Each structure stands twice: as structure tokens, then as C-alpha cells.
A and B are shown apart, each in its own frame.
Chain A
Amino acid sequence: MPVELHFDHGTLVVLGVPEGDARLAALVSLDKRTGTHRAPAHRYRAIVSHLHNAHIPYVDKARIYDRLDLALSGPLEPFPHQRDALAAWRAAGGVGVVELPTGAGKTILAVLAIVHTGRPALIVVPTIDLMLQWQQVLGHWLQRPIGMLGGGNSEAREITVTTYDSAAAQTEFHGNRHGLLVCDECHHLPAPAYRFIAQGCLAPFRLGLTATFERPDGLHNIAAELLGPVCYRANIDELEGDYLAPYEVKSLAVALTEAEQARYDEARALYIDFLRGSGVSLDRPGGWAQFIAVCHRSEDGRQAFAAYREQKRIAFTAEAKIEALWRLLLRHRRDRILVFTEDNDTVHRLSRLFLLPVITHQTPPKERVSLLAQFASGALPVLLTSKVLNEGVDVPDANVGVILSGSGSVREHVQRLGRILRKKEGKRAILYELCTAVAAEHGVSERRRQHRAYQKEPLPRRGAAALRPGPIDQVPSDMSESPGPSEHVPSDMPVSPPRTPRERPDLPSPAEGEC
């Protein structure tokens, strides 16, 4: 009787395992509950290869897909780095991770891989916006309907795009329908909630795409185990100018108002006192989780945690940032500007203040599509967002980014920079980071700029005048005046008094490179 392979909710059930087959026995394990042999679905390729090579007759009832006849809809001349990446991936046996900067054309690389593989493909992406974008690109190049799962869409097709959240829920049902698994922004895959996407899928061909593969927690090794190791890598500074727009990064320091500073000082003192008294060190691994746990054990701790959040909120939403943002909007009013914030409340507040469009996870899908299209066409010069546009969404015309607030994540910062780097003739990108001169934001800013994209020599490359992020700039001259409070500022936004940066003996002034 031949060996039979079955797919069972993200696992492979192998019936009729021949006795004495040590290699196969190492790939499966006996499930005493059901009396069958079982393996994670991602071992499908290894199991089938072994059965084939050992001439063991088998019936494959696990996979339910066939080869696809795929061709590109028109001529496509890949960039050298795309061609090299595809060759490296093919040489690795159709598995592995390609690490390319944002804007370097990872989607096109995936299109080439899908056509080369000739199998139904599942593409997993982090956000609904990216899902819509991938659907358009794949539909264009493959000239066939593209399925979507997630964000209210439930149409699965041979080529399907889905979000990580939907894939995590659906893998146990559709993990045997695709021969190629593409994980976009694959640094998300090692998250405990997402690993099963690759573990429970039997696709023998796997491609991971990311701009920032390595994770500070070291879990990228899990992605390498499930998708294959990095097979090709190109850095942002290697492609700048030729394949990415030349860019500059400017950090602008702003001051808190007196009232903000007083509230900030009070909250920070409360938080720092508790932190010191708790004996927790945030520098140690797991320190943050320990701090959270300690905070929730007592009323003092809860107050300290509230104070921690308050001082961060003050730093992130300072009045002066609003004023500085207005100056930047005015300065770049004929450019295409993306404004990033840390949270949805801030972004909605800014939208109400300036009457500028917002994209968050709450934005209805048809409005997202419309806003992105209008931004691309130039009908809308500004888009405000919190995090949903951090990754992957293709906004080739965006040339100015403003980071009003964000986390300390290097990855987030690099991804945000990447939003404005897509190459276009004559384009020069500029990323502003607005930063308050207080410790709560100083550390965050320092942490997130620990990447080679921000640590280049202050010399322009390929003729581009590039300001490098060494010393922090003051607010530019056209922003130096302190405009009086606007009568249009809504009542829920405290009107700022004329501001004079306070002398702070414990902090260097912004001009000295505080931020």
C-alpha cells in the first residue's frame, strides 16, 4: 500500500509510514491520539523529496493545487538588483529571504518569482492598504483575477493576497492550496501569532521580503527557518541615487510651552521616582515587561505608569510641533507630504485642525483607495497617518516625510524613510523628524536612528545635496517666529502662549544636539 499524505488543519498526516525508514521517521512523529503519523505542514517539501528520492510509492492527497501557466502581461526589464535577487533565490532552491530597501522594487521581484515558480501563490502582507496595492500590481502583470482575504474580502483565488491577521486565522483551512508562499515585510512572521502561517502551510516554495530582516530580539532566525535564510541583500546607500531617490534627513528640535513643561516635569518625576524605587532597569533584557508588571501591582505603580504615558503624550503632541508642522506644510505646499504620528488620536486631532486627510486602520477601504489615488495624482498634497502607511504602501510621488511622533523602533523609522524614497526623475526626498527637547522623546529619537540609513558621511552622493543627521537643526528660519495662538484652534487644543524655551540645567539646548 502506498504512503498517503493528507493535510489536516495545518499539519500533514502521513499514512502507511514504512517501517525502518529512519529519514521519514525523523520528519514525522506518531500521534498517539489518532494513531497516525503527523508533521508540521511546512515539512511537506522535505517529506515529498524523500519519498521521491527513495522511490517510495506515495499518493499525495495533501496538496490541492496544480501548476499554473503564468506569463507576464508585457515586457519587464528588472533592475540589476532585482535580477540578482531572483537568481540568488532560484539558486537557493526557491526558498529564502531577500532584503532590499523600501522602494527597491520588492513587489516586482515577487511577480518574477511567481511567474518563475508557476504555482498558485499566497502573498501575505501586513496591512489592508498593502493588500490592495499588491492586488493591483499582480493583476496588472499577471492579467488574471487576484483573490483577497481580509479587510472584508473573502475571495480566495489561485493567486491570493491576504493580511498576516487573516492568514493566521485561515492557514488551517487553506494551507494546502498554494505552492508558493510570499511573506512581504517578513520580519513580522516570527511573532507568535503569525508563525503558524508558514508552519501550517505546505508551500514548497517560499520567498520572504523585507527591508529590515534582523530583529533586536533575535527571532529573525525563526523566519529564516520557515522561509529559508537570507539569500540576497542590498543596502539603502548602495541603491541611493541610481535606484532610490537621493535623500536627506533633518531632525528639528522644538520646545515645550511653560505649561507643558511644568506638566511634563511633574509626570516625569513621578515616573522616574517610582522606576528608581522599583529596582527595575530598563536597560536590561525584559526590563520593560518587568516594569509593566511592577506597575500593575500597586496603586503607586499604576499612577507611575499613568505618569509615564502622560509625559510621553506631552512630548509627542507639544504645541510647538503643531506650529512647526504648519511651517513645513507651508514650505512644502507644492510637494507631496506624508505626516506620521504615533497614535490615531493625534492624527484625527491634526486632521480636524488642518482639515487634511487621514489614513488609519479605521479608514473605510474605498476611502483609502480614493485617498491614495488622489495623493498619487497630486490632487491631495498631504496625507496624515499613524502607522498604517509605515510599511510597503507605494506612494512614489511622496517626497517629504514628517515624523511628528513615533516609537523608538529602528525598523519603523527606516520604513517611514522608505515611503519617500521611490525613485522618480528629478526627485529629492527629505525626511523631517520633529522632536521635543525633553528626555522622553530624546531617547526615542536616539534609538530609532541607529541604522546605516542615518549614519552616512555628510557628503552628497551622486550630486544630491544631502544633509546628514548629525547635529540636530534648529527649526528653520521660516519657522522661527512664534506665531500667536490661532483663533481657529479648536477648544480641545490648548491655546499656546508665546513660547520661550525654558532654561534647563539638566538638558543641553536643542542647538547642542539634544534630540
Chain B
Amino acid sequence: MLTRDLLVYRRVKGLRLRPTFVDPDDDDHIATAGALIDLLTHGTGEPRGAVDEAADAICGEARKVKVARGLYKLLTDRCEWDDPGDTAMDLRAVAFARSAAVLRDLSAESSLSDYLDAVAAGLPRPLADVRAHLYDDLAEHRRLLSAKLPTPAALLARYNLALAQGLVLYAGSLDVRAASPGPLELRKLLRWLRFSRLVADVRRDGDGWHLRIEGPAAQLDMQKKYGLQLATFLGAVPVLGKFTVEADIDLPRQPRGRLYLDHKDPLKALDDGPLGHIPQEIELGMASLGDARWTLDPMPELRHVGAAGMCVPDFALRDGTTGKSVAVELFHRWHRHALLRRLDELAARPDPHFLVGVDLSLAKDEALAARLAGAPQVFTFNKFPTWKRLQPLLEPIGSLL
């Protein structure tokens, strides 16, 4: 992340905040990023103070000094510095024991020179040498051990995201709008929501989605800030493809501003790992449903369950007459713990429009079977739910919709 002094942004018409993104193809920025990466690549074993000083020189020559300093900050976040060991501490212990002994035995007429002469006489090294190395374990003396360094292009991309994240650190909530997101992208985003310990008011907006992201205590009169969590979450938003982000920003000692971002900004998601997969049955719209009333919705809305649980159902069944849905969440044999938690949550806070599918291999567990028998919303399946299993549960729910 970038500290506030390293943020570069514009204020448009007094309110609108726009990070001053860098062009990732700009030769000057690429050269600066390359020089800083090179410095750290060859800086292994060098003390932090020397590395910082060399970086200062590179930053000072850059066309945009603040951008260069920001790039360096992001790089040093990826560095590991050595443990200073006990050498300096041992030297201090010897020096301080000696000075204590000398001080106590001084006469009232002694001068500072007398004192220092007497101390120096009992030191293992010359006084000047002791002074020079007395605090060798302070941060500036620690040596570079290793660094996980990106390419210049990746660093510039990370810098652009960090500029936006640096402003979001001062936000209380995020409004994310996505036009026609893919189900896997949306699922991944919502998973990040849970990782970030945030809650969301999720609404469908035609084909699009609107998510208002906040911390649990945000609606209460509490001082808790969620800036770091929101900034972390922002790192996942670019997976959506097409999106807009808006947030009110309260920078210290500045008038409030509103941040606007969208997919045209040079933002790349932090997590570019695989999105996962959707079972073929869902992709095919569960053609085997064979029922005119119910259609399969592969992108059901986020559901809050129990006191603080959150789930992204695997799919939903939409009633053609009312347009309302019944959510279905599937638990496989490796989901025992999650299933128990969900059953507890449904017991504490019943949700009549929520069905729980349990893989037969999991349902064989004797202790679990007793719990399942007492839960009316549960059905079992083998590999994937069949309409035959779902229909008996849907009929009574359908009459309530």
C-alpha cells in the first residue's frame, strides 16, 4: 500500500477525486521502475540506509519524483531485511556496564573528559569505534536478505491499483456496480468479501449488480474504520471485467471528496488465479428439470444466513409466475463442518426460501444423518441434484411465493 504522502490524485470541481494513474507503457516510468528493481536485485547484503540512499538518487532523477518514491515503497514492501543479531546489543551491554561502573566511582570534580577517558580504558574497542557501532541494529543498518521483485510492467500495474487503494483507505463504504458479470467472476468477488470480513447489500439492477460494501459496524455509532479491508477488497473488483466503483473519501484535513473508478482505468486484480468452474448441469440450465414453472438461475444473489454468515448459493430456481427464487446450496463430502454450521444458522434464523443439498456420501455419517432428518429444508443427491429430489421440496415453497 502507499502511504498518504505518496498518493497522487486530482480533485475535479472540488469534489471528484481521480487518482493520477501512470501510463504503464510510458518509457520513463518503465525505466525508473526497472532501475529500482535493478537496485534491489543487486542490493542483497547491503544495509537499508545505503539502499535507501541509492533509491533516493534514482527517485530524484525521475521525471515524477513522487511516482518513483511510490514505486520504491511498493518494492520495499516485498523485501526482507536481516535480523540484526545480538552483536550491537552485546557491545552496548559491555559499554553500559563499563560506563555505570566508572560513573559511580567518579569524584565530584571530574570532568566529562575524565569520565570518557576512564570509560574508554575499559572498552574492548576504541571509543570512536564503539560509538560508531553502538546502534548497528537500528533499521537503517539492517541488510537486505531477499526481495520478491515484479517486472517493471507488473510494478506499474500494482502502483496504479495502490493509488486507488490509498484513497479507499479513507473510505467508509464502496459502491460497486457491475454490468452483466460472469457468475464465476461474481462468485470470486463475493468470496473476497468474506475474506475481507465485510458485509454487502447486494441488489440486482436489471442485468447488472449493485453491491454496497461496508464493515459490520459501519451502520452503528462506532469508531471502527474499515479502510484497510475495503482497500483489500478493491484489489478484487477488477475481476469483474466491466465495473464502476464510487466511494466517499475523508482525507484528514481536507474536504470530503468522492472517488470514481471504472474498468477503463488501468486497474488489475491482485488475484489473477483461476476462477473455478461451474458444473456442466448448471451451465446447461439444468435442462433435465423438465418443468415449465421453474427455471435455473446460475447467478443467485448473495444470502446472509444465521447471525453473521454469508453464502453464495450454487444456483437458484426461479418461479416463472412470481419471478421469485429459491436458493440452493450444495454440500459435498468434504463440507461436513460447513454443513453443520449452515444447519445451526438455519435453525437460529430460518430461511424458508433456502434449500440445502447434501451429497449422499456425506449423509451417510451417522451423527450427521440425525441432524439431517430433523431439517425439513434438506435433500440428498448423488453427484448433482435431480429434479426428482428437488420437486417435493419446491412444491410447498412454491405455494408460499
**A interface with B by C-beta (< 8 Å):** 4, 6, 8-11, 13, 15-16, 29, 31-36, 38-40, 61, 172, 192-193, 195-196, 199-200, 289, 292-293, 326, 329-331, 333-334, 348, 351-357, 362, 364, 367, 370-371, 379-382, 478, 483, 486-488, 490
Contacts and interface: CB of A to CB of B under 8 A. Distances in A.
Contact of A31 (B96, B99, B119, B219): B219
Contact of B308 (A13, A200, A352): A13
A364 B108 contact: no
Contacts of A29: 219-220
B200 interface: yes
Interface of B: 89, 92-93, 95-100, 103-104, 106, 108, 110-113, 115-117, 119, 127-128, 130-131, 134-135, 137-139, 197, 199-201, 212, 214-217, 219-225, 253, 304, 306-308, 348-349
A491 to B, nearest CB: 9
B100 A382 contact: yes
A40 B224 CA distance: 10
A367 B215 contact: no
B308 A10 contact: no
A367 B92 contact: yes
A352 B139 CA distance: 17
A9 B308 contact: yes
A381 B105 CA distance: 12
B146 to A, nearest CB: 21
Nearest to B99: A355
23 contacts: A4-B307, A35-B304, A38-B220, A195-B223, A196-B222, A196-B223, A199-B217, A199-B223, A348-B135, A352-B134, A354-B115, A355-B95, A355-B98, A355-B99, A355-B134, A356-B96, A356-B99, A367-B89, A371-B96, A380-B100, A381-B100, A486-B116, A488-B116
Contacts of B223: 192-193, 195-196, 199
B216 to A, nearest CB: 5
Nearest to B127: A488
A234 to B, nearest CB: 30
A334 B101 CA distance: 10
Contacts of B139: 362
Contact of B200 (A10, A33, A354, A478): A33
A33 B306 CA distance: 13
A326 B112 contact: yes
A36 B304 contact: yes
Nearest to A169: B228
Q: From B115, B116, B197, B307, name the one whose CB has the most chain A CB atoms within 10 angstroms.
A: B307
Given A355-B96, A382-B100, A364 B89 contact: yes
B216 A355 contact: no
A13 B106 CA distance: 67
Given A61-B307, A355-B95, A382-B103, 8 more contacts: A8-B216, A9-B216, A32-B201, A40-B222, A330-B106, A483-B111, A486-B111, A490-B131
Nearest first, the 3 closest Cβ-Cβ pairs linking A and B are A6-B307, A8-B308, A195-B223
Contacts of B103: 329, 333, 381-382
A295 to B, nearest CB: 11
Q: From A38, A353, A382, A490, name the one whose CB has the most chain B CB atoms within 10 angstroms.
A: A38
Contact of B100 (A193, A199, A200, A379): A379
Contacts of B253: 289, 292-293
B71 to A, nearest CB: 23
Contacts of A379: 97, 100
B119 A362 contact: no
Contacts of A195: 222-223
B349 A200 contact: no
A353 B214 CA distance: 53
Q: From B96, B115, B221, name the one whose CB has the most chain A CB atoms within 10 angstroms.
A: B96
Q: From A39, A348, A351, name the one whose CB has the most chain B CB atoms within 10 angstroms.
A: A351
Contacts of B212: 33
B272 to A, nearest CB: 28
B67 to A, nearest CB: 20
B106 A333 contact: yes
Contacts of B98: 355
A200 B307 contact: no
B219 to A, nearest CB: 6
A5 to B, nearest CB: 8
A382 B212 CA distance: 57
Contacts of A36: 304, 307-308, 349
Nearest to A171: B224
A88 to B, nearest CB: 28
Given A36-B349, A39-B220, A172-B224, A355 B215 contact: no
